[in-house]
Amino acid sequence: MQDYHLLDEIQSDLKQNRVTCVELVEYYLQNIENGKHLNAFVEVYEEEARHRAREIDQKLSNDKAGPLAGLIFGIKDLICYQNHAVSGSSKILAGFESQFSATAVERLLEQDAIVIGRQNCDEFGMGSSNENSAHGIVLNPLDEGRVPGGSSGGSAAAIAANMCLISLGTETGGSVRQPAAFCGVTGLKPTYSRISRWGLLAYASSFDTIGIISKSVEDNARVLEVIAGKDGKDATCSSKEVPAYSESKPKEQYRIAYFKELLHNEGIQPEIRNAYASLTQSFKDEGHELVEAQFPYPDYILPTYYILTTAEASTNLSRYDGAHYGHRSAHTEDLESMYKLSRTEGFGDEVRRRIMLGTFVLSADYYDAYFTKAQKVRNLIKTSTEQILRDCDFIVTPTTPTTAFKHNSHSSPLEMYMADLFTVQASISGIPAISVPFGKDNENLPIGMQIMAGAFEEEKLFAFSKILQNKTR
């Protein structure tokens, strides 16, 4: 069977009886089995997917199938699916089954998409390498000695290894875009509130979004069109109308902001700097207007992000205490020891580190010095970013400062946090951003370029992304 890159290709073959949903499912299941060592999936819904495929084939024969018939997708282990396990790739939730499905999952299933399994990730979404999972590390299918990125590393690796057509990942500060760049696929973080967070295990509630990883911009747009929109179960979800993203068409000319200092920054891998210079020059040659943007707060982006997200994580993860569900230590003597031991045994090193940092910045003595100040700086970053986007259609940057790095190559958390250098600006600002593959480095590893747009401008973002995508097709 051919390696499909577009849902349109699949649906064309389904219509002409060249393939069936059952055959598609078997094809992807075989790819999952062949790539089992990559550890991208922590659970595969084999029989369920086969049964669902037979049902949809019957619908197709009766011309009653939904618009996403033939779409096989996986879900990150932070997204709930009714009567199925969800653990956040953490020991603390071992054995827990969700009592309901995430709205995003429900909406895909309603349109006759088929869910094929649950995908590995950094524990509770905290990481940039997928080395912080209770289920073990994930290997990058393009170079198994390197990380796939994180925290949605299993989701990106599954797309790159052709184990499914779409993955639903999650984003807090780059957890869809960064692994998409490392694995050479497309990853979208939508506007905050564009997709319902109902059924998403919380990390940092004012940042968290569900994101989409795909092989193409076109399929990413089709999926967002289905899962976006008002949801009565999530009070933070926007009620704005959902445009026909899949029908977006690029204009002949855009006004594009770029950061000149990134062309000379020694902290960025040379091949990525060169790719960024090549991309901006190509936009200029095609008649787009390039604007050298001025952003006054680059040194404050990462500190602001990590202060605020660790604070929110400290609060959100307090619910995992050994008393209600999930892991409970077998060595407890009283209530206090149950809390301490259950959380110590249940959480990994990185999660414990962030909980402690968050608890510190929320403490009475340091609340104003850190948390309050970070909230003010967040507003400055957001305002400054929005100002650039009022003057320009897009901001274009590299997605990451380096290509995929080797396993266990970062000796300190700070080195790892730098992998989020370019992605957290959009997360702090709540705006949509997408990573699209653009060339490779000297070791044949993919480079990703990031496009940011104004809030709820995904339609325009998809249209422009097709221009970038076509440069490497």
Contact (CB, 8 A) for 187 and 160: no
76 is catalytic: yes
In angstroms, the CA 243 to CA 229 distance is: 10
Would you call 175 a catalytic residue per the annotation?
A: yes
User: Is the alpha carbon torsion for 22, 24, 30, 35 positive or negative?
Assistant: negative
Is 329 a known active-site residue?
no
**Two structure tokens written together for 60:** 């197709």
Per-residue tokens: 331: 């060595």
Alpha-carbon torsion, ordered 166, 24, 138, 427, to 10 deg: 0
Which amino acid is located at 187 in the chain? G
- Among residues 90, 151, 214, 465, which one is catalytic? 151
Secondary structure string (H, E, C) spanning the chain: CCCCCCHHHHHHHHHCCCCCHHHHHHHHHHHHHHCHHHCCEEEECHHHHHHHHHHHHHHHHCCCCCCCCCCEEEEECCECCCCCECCCCCHHHCCCECCCCCHHHHHHHHCCCEEEEEECCCHHHCCCCCCCCCCCCCCECCECCECCCCCCHHHHHHHHCCCCCEEEEEECCCCCHHHHHHHCCEEEECCCCCECCCCECCCCCCCCEEEEEECCHHHHHHHHHHHECCCCCCCCCCCCCCCCHHHCCCCCCCEEEECHHHHCCCCCCHHHHHHHHHHHHHHHHCCCEEEECCCCCHHHHHHHHHHHHHHHHHHHHHHCCCCCCCCCCCCCCCHHHHHHHHHHHHCCHHHHHHHHHHHHHHCCCCHHHHHHHHHHHHHHHHHHHHHHHHHCCEEEEECCCCCCCECCCCCCHHHHHHHHCCCHHHHHHCCCEEEEEEEECCCCCEEEEEEECCCCCHHHHHHHHHHHHHHHC
Tell me which residue has tokens 């380096």: 402
Catalytic residue among 101, 133, 155, 175: 175
Residue 293 contacts residue 188 (beta carbons within 8 Å) = no
Catalytic residues: 76, 151, 175
